[in-house]
Amino acid sequence: MKTFKLRIKKDAARDLGKFSLREKKRFKYFRRKFPVILDALNKTKIKYAVLKGGFLAFDIFPPGSRYLSDIDIVVMENDRCTAEKALAREGFKKEESKSSKNVTVMTDPNGLEVELATELGVLKSILPVEELLCNTVKVKLVNRTARVLRNEYNLLHLCLHASMTHSFYDISKLVDINEFLKSKHIDIEEFELLARKKGVYRAVFIPIQQCGIFWKNPAGLKYNIKAGLAVRLIRYNLESALKTEYDKRSAFYGYLIPVLIADSWRLRFKMIMDYMKSREWGM
């Protein structure tokens, strides 16, 4: 609202105030429990990385200003059971109905969710967990040691999460990217090379370009690109983000933009095959 100098009605402002207060209370609880989670994982000596909000909310955003629905952590498949047991000792229970083959959802008595993932859904071929866990660094979060992705990999994941996982529907993912660019030192040449090597240059260029348009962020990538048909769908997603409920869109539509903005036909074909396998279409 500050960026675009929006005016809102008094009742809407009052509701926003209530939401803000609620989120600050939730953040305080997350802030109190996050060290427990980190201590439990650190004691096991397994490889892990805290992703997205679990890192950003405690590192670059003011307290309570970044919404946290859960804490996302990636682990190796053979370490998954160890991580589950470590959290279970701290009062977390596995939610069978929410868990899947590649993700374990664990909750504490007050409903705080931790997701232990062994792959990243639509991004699994682009960002294998094995590679991610070889590109982590130790940082201080909530007065504890935590493992997170190196800046270049972190930015790559944030961009792909916005463009391919959420198909530009969730504008808050662009806010994450913008704040990350403002607060972290990124080796842009390494970042560009990494994106090109993985065939996702357009998928990272577009969200960074959008940050430049929305918030006048000077960070940019070296080469200009064209996104073709995907541009229309991206524009539609951004314009309709506040009008259409996310869950009402078809899963196929969610995969359409990622496939269109992939750089190579080889990657597009691989993503389509992954989608068909996930839907069990004759595979």
- Written as one letter, the residue type at 32 is R
Average pLDDT over residues 188-214: 89
Q: Give the confidence band of 260 by pLDDT, cuts at 50, 70, 90.
A: confident
How far is residue 81's CA from residue 197's CA, in Å, rounded to a whole number?
A: 33
Of 119, 32, 94, 109, nearest to 68 by C-alpha is: 32
Average pLDDT over residues 69-87: 97
Of 23, 50, 254, 60, nearest to 144 by C-alpha is: 50
Q: Which domains does the chain have, with CATH numbers?
A: 1-149 (3.30.460), 150-283 (no CATH)
pLDDT digit string, tens, across residues 161-200? 998 888 777 788 999 999 999 999 999 999 999 999 999 9
How high is the pLDDT of residue 110? Answer: 92
What the block records as the tokens of 160 is 């792909």
How far is residue 61's CA from residue 36's CA, in Å, rounded to a whole number?
A: 21
How high is the pLDDT of residue 246? Answer: 53
